[in-house]
Amino acid sequence: MKVIQSPLHIGHSGGVEFNEGQIVPCHERPSRAEFILKAVEDAGLPVLDAEPYGLDPVLRVHDEAFVAFLRDAWRLWQEAGRTGSVLPFTFAGRSMRRDRPPRDIDGLLGYYCFAAETPIVEGTFDAALGAVDCALTGAALIAGGRERAAYALCRPPGHHAAHSVYGGYCYLNNAAVAAQWLRDHGMERVAVLDVDYHHGNGTQDIFYERADVQFVSLHADPLLDFPYYLGHADETGAGAGEGFTVNLPLPWGTDWEGYAHTLGLALDRVRAFQPDAVVVSLGVDTYVGDPISRFTLTTDRYAEMGAMIEGLDLPTLFVQEGGYAVEAIGDNVVATLEGFMGRR
């Protein structure tokens, strides 16, 4: 299986996040990608650089003014005389208007951002575009039928980024851009299977009213964990998309037994949809040692997960999402891919 990476990720570094009342270095840090790269190389998987696709595929799923804001935010911050990471201090609360983006940088940040653990630094936008390029380069490999599967080493991750909102360490939704690109390049139905610990609120938002892209997610119950305000079982899609969103929330402490049972249900739903391809939002923050999560999967279980996903017998694009136990992240990703390839 080919691995696609982008050197641009490194520019998204040095940021701080607001966590438990403190400003701390980001959990989502460059060493994540470096550990993954080392592990896939040690496993003998071929690594290629992403091809540049430009903004057009991004604008198929994201709002143009939102993308322009992400592009300009660092410059606007500099022009306001600020240093350090670009972070919002205020948010557009539910009693306030959502139809009038302010002009001031602080107002814009609160308008487009939903979580204060997602800083923008000088290289963030280019890194986010590089991550999209990884996903698209992988999508092109499976769309052409040249490869059964590919792994996009996306950093920053993407599944919390919605049509016009960023947060959750995500800016542009790599998996959603790739799924839409597959739709635009000959695939009639595409499933997104999201196995990150957190609900993929951005991906759900983007495809909520669509019958051609199914979204199936296993995640920590939003009553207990981030992103808190989306991901309940009763969210099943709307309009033409009714029935094409599937949410399977799980309790804190979920172990492999409980996880595997629910993953089986998720895979049944994907099979019933009869997609032409599946995009897997692969977060390995379900790992027992993850510093911000509360499931208990061990490295060997990721191989079983990979084998179960292989059982779909579909063209498969793995897109990297979360995973913050940095020293274990490479092993957990490689275990998943090797399980898929039947090497474990």
Catalytic residue set = 160
Give whichever of 77 and 259 is closer to Zn ion, judged by the CB atom: 259
Using a 10 angstrom Cβ sphere, with 0-12 exposed, 13-18 middle and 19 or more buried, the burial of residue 18 is middle
Q: Please give the Cα distance from 278 to 317 (Å, whole number).
A: 6
Confirm or reject binding of residue 194 to ligand SP5 (CB under 6 A).
no
Beta bridge partners of 48: 4
Which is nearer to ligand SP5, 92 or 282 (by Cβ)? Answer: 282
Give the residues across from 220 on adjacent strands: 250
Q: Does 202 bind ligand SP5 (CB under 6 A)?
A: no
157 lies in the site for ligand SP5, by CB under 6 A: yes
Task: Provide the binding-site residues for Zn ion, judged by CB under 5 A.
Answer: 196-198, 283, 285, 322
From Zn ion, ligand SP5, none, interface partner of 306 (C-beta below 5 to 8 A by class)? none
Binding mask 315-344 for ligand SP5 (x = CB under 6 A): ------xx----------------------
Between 252 and 257, whose beta carbon lies closer to ligand SP5? 252
Q: Name the minimum Å distance from CB 158 to ligand SP5.
A: 8
CB 161 within 8 A of CB 250: no
| Contact mark string toward ligand SP5, 287..316, x via CB under 6 A | -----x------------------------
Residues 119 and 281: their CA atoms lie apart, in Å, by: 22
- Which of 74, 197 has the CB closer to Zn ion? 197
Supply 319's token pair.
Answer: 């897109």
Site string for ligand SP5, 225-254 (x = CB under 6 A): -x----------------------------
User: Residues 171, 161: contact at Cβ < 8 Å?
Assistant: yes
Q: Are 214 and 244 in contact (CB under 8 A)?
A: yes
Among 196, 205, 235, 290, binds ligand SP5 (CB under 6 A): 196
* 123 forms part of the interface with ligand SP5 (CB under 6 A): no
Query: Toward ligand SP5, which CB reaches closer, 187 or 305?
Result: 305
Min separation Cβ 194 and Zn ion, Å:
9
* Long-range contacts of 13-18, Cβ-Cβ distance < 8 Å, separation of 24 or more: 13/121, 13/123, 14/85, 14/121, 15/85, 15/119, 15/120, 15/121, 15/124, 16/84, 16/85, 16/87, 16/119, 17/116, 17/117, 17/118, 17/119, 18/87, 18/116, 18/117
Stretch that binds ligand SP5, among 83-91, 168-176, 252-260, 301-309 (CB under 6 A): 168-176
Residue 252 structure tokens: 């804190």
Measured distance CA(258)–CA(274) in Å, rounded: 25
Which residues form the interface with ligand SP5 (CB under 6 A)? Answer: 19-20, 117, 157, 160, 168-170, 196, 198, 226, 283, 285, 292, 321-322
